[in-house]
Amino acid sequence: MVSQNISGSLSKAMRRRLIGLVIAAAIIAFFAVCPPFQGLVESLAGRENGNPEAAMASIGIFLGAIVLFVAQVAPLAVSCLTLMVLLPYFGITALGSVWADFGGTSFFFVLFCFGITGALSQTTLPMRVSALITKVSKGDPRIIVYGFGFATCIFSGFLSNFGTLIMFYSITMAFLKMCDRKPGESGLGKCLMIVLPAAAGTGGFISPAGSPGNLIAQSILLQQGIDLKFLHWFLIATPFSLLIILFLCTCLCIMFKPERLPEEAQRAVMEKHKEAGPMTFKEKAACVIIAITVLLWFSSTWFPALNTTVVAACAFFIMFMPGVDLMNWKSYVQEADWNLLLMVGSVAVTMGCVNSTGAMGWVMNTLFAGIGQLSLFSLFLIIGLVVAALRVTIPTAPSVAAIFGPVLVGIATVAGGNMTALVLIPVFWSGATMLLVFTEPIYLYTYAAGYYEAGELFKAGIIPTLLMIVIMALVFPAYVSFFGYN
């Protein structure tokens, strides 16, 4: 019976992938051979180097990419790399430009940041933070939930989401086992297993280093002449990331009523901390290197010579130096997410070319001709609702920024809204999604532990999601404008 279910599941997934492939190919082929729409021709008439045929093909590439992403026809990196190398054959860009633009800043920044995450994973710092939370809580389960939620969120702001989750998950699982909190029965277990992936995903919004999707959005904005500095990104993003985790922790504690820890369970956690002993030289070295790296990233706001990618490269090199040896190449290869890495490099080329043809601006002007009449609040409310709802159909966070980024640039052009704020909306919701288990791999990781059901995640996540959509519609555009970004 089990083998039949698995076979049926695989055949269903295969059908979805095949149907997605056929639809994507049909869309791309249609826009490649169809004569340019008259409105598109007129829109590009006064544009320097305007090419209606290339613009039509770029629309097909963009729509085809959405189908490939949603249907998960192939790994995201494979889909993006394939579309990228096809661009020259549709007259969208030159082949030489494709290869030259692929290894851009975003690609190498992510490459180096995976090394920084790997170095921290070799330390006992997350365990020490967990022991501190336990000590401060004095058995109060609400403090434990808030403590783990905020700690995971902040760590994830500078490390990979999945890497951060794994570090705190292993500590939290040991914590729950020492406290004898059983899956399916423990309210504390439900709260922690839900808040960890939510905080890891949401924390990825805190800085450009937090998620590859951030760098895609940063590249899209840079193509529009908007250079969003590291410190400014941090100051813009952090309050909203922490606020939604505050809402989620509050909802979790109200709904699932986590049980108080007995004193013997608290002692067991602290004993585990004592067994670790003092920090080793390598642990101290990792913490110092990472702290200096983050400090220099912030300093790049005032000192352009401290380029964030160059700083990350220097930290990456130091970690491999003789006498430091925080990582070796084999462990780095295992730590890095090559699917996301290759996707970042290829999607920046693909979506950049699609946006540069002028087709996206024409599409947005045609579809949303009356959107400029909406109030700023209504515009951001609608965008927030649409992105948060559609996020549950898109499998990974970086693809959300790739899909919605060019669209929102076009909407900002038509409606006159704050372009920076609009482009950051999908980046926020790409990580802050907390409605469906099967949308985001980081939830599947904790879901497998058996502490909560999919319906419980939706129940806990719906109120924080709706609250943040309204709050961001009210506050976010003005808050971004306060830092001088439009």
- Which residue do the tokens 């095949």 mark? 18
When comparing pLDDT for 385 and 268, which is higher? 385
The predicted pLDDT at position 10 comes to: 57
Whether the pLDDT of residue 243 is over 90: the answer is yes
Comparing 362 with 55, which gets the higher pLDDT?
Answer: 55
* Residue 422 burial (10 A CB sphere; 0-12, 13-18, 19+): buried
Per-residue pLDDT, averaged over 406-417, amounts to 79
Asked whether the beta carbons of 381 and 469 are under 8 A apart, the reply is yes
Quote the tokens at residue 46.
């006064």
Predicted local distance difference test score (pLDDT) of residue 126 = 74
Check pLDDT > 50 for residue 33.
Answer: yes
Q: How many CB atoms lie within 10 A of CB 220?
A: 25
In the predicted model, what is the mean pLDDT of the chain? 83
Mean pLDDT of 182-209: 90
pLDDT for 233 beyond 50: yes
The mean pLDDT value for 103-107 works out to: 71
The reported pTM is 0.79
Q: What is the C-alpha end-to-end distance of the chain, expressed in Å?
A: 58
Cβ neighbours for 257, distance < 8 A, ≥ 6 positions apart: 187
The secondary structure of the chain in percent helix, strand, coil, rounded to multiples of 5, reads 75, 0, 25
Residue pair 237/207 in contact (Cβ under 8 Å)? The answer is yes
Most confident of 349-358, 406-415, 418-427, 429-438: 418-427
Comparing 55-59, 215-219, 441-445, the range with the smallest average pLDDT is 441-445
Q: Mean pLDDT: which of 134-138, 225-229, 267-271, 473-477 is highest?
A: 473-477
Query: Who's near 29: CB < 8 A, 6+ residues apart?
Result: 60
From the list 477, 338, 343, the residue with the least C-alpha distance to 402 is 343
Residue of 392, 408, 348, 399 whose CA lies nearest to 100: 348
| Confidence (pLDDT) at 407 | 81
pLDDT category, 166, cuts 50, 70, 90? confident
In the structure, what pLDDT confidence band is assigned to residue 7 with cuts at 50, 70 and 90? very low
Q: Give 274-325 pLDDT, tens digit per residue.
A: 777 788 888 888 888 888 998 999 998 888 888 888 998 999 899 888 888 8
Q: Which of 23-32, 145-154, 222-231, 349-358 has the lowest mean pLDDT?
A: 349-358
**Number of Cβ atoms within 10 Å of the Cβ of 439:** 18
User: Is 220 strand, coil or helix?
Assistant: helix
**pLDDT above 80 (res 435):** no
Average pLDDT estimate for 4-19? 69
pLDDT given for residue 295 in this prediction: 92
Question: Which range among 43-57, 125-139, 243-257, 344-358 has the greatest average pLDDT?
Answer: 243-257
DSSP annotation of 36 reads P
Radius of gyration of the chain (CA): 23
The residue among 1 and 461 whose pLDDT is bigger is: 461
pLDDT of residue 119 exceeding 80: no
Question: Is residue 185 within 8 Å of residue 402, measured between CB atoms?
Answer: no
Tell me the percentage of the chain whose pLDDT exceeds 70. Answer: 93
- ∠ CA 222-226-227 to the nearest 5 degrees? 75
- Alpha carbons 113 and 115: distance in angstroms, whole number: 5
Distance of CA 242 to the CA centre of its chain: 15
pLDDT confidence band for 483 (50 / 70 / 90): very high
Task: Say how far apart CA 50 and CA 359 lie, in whole Å.
Answer: 10
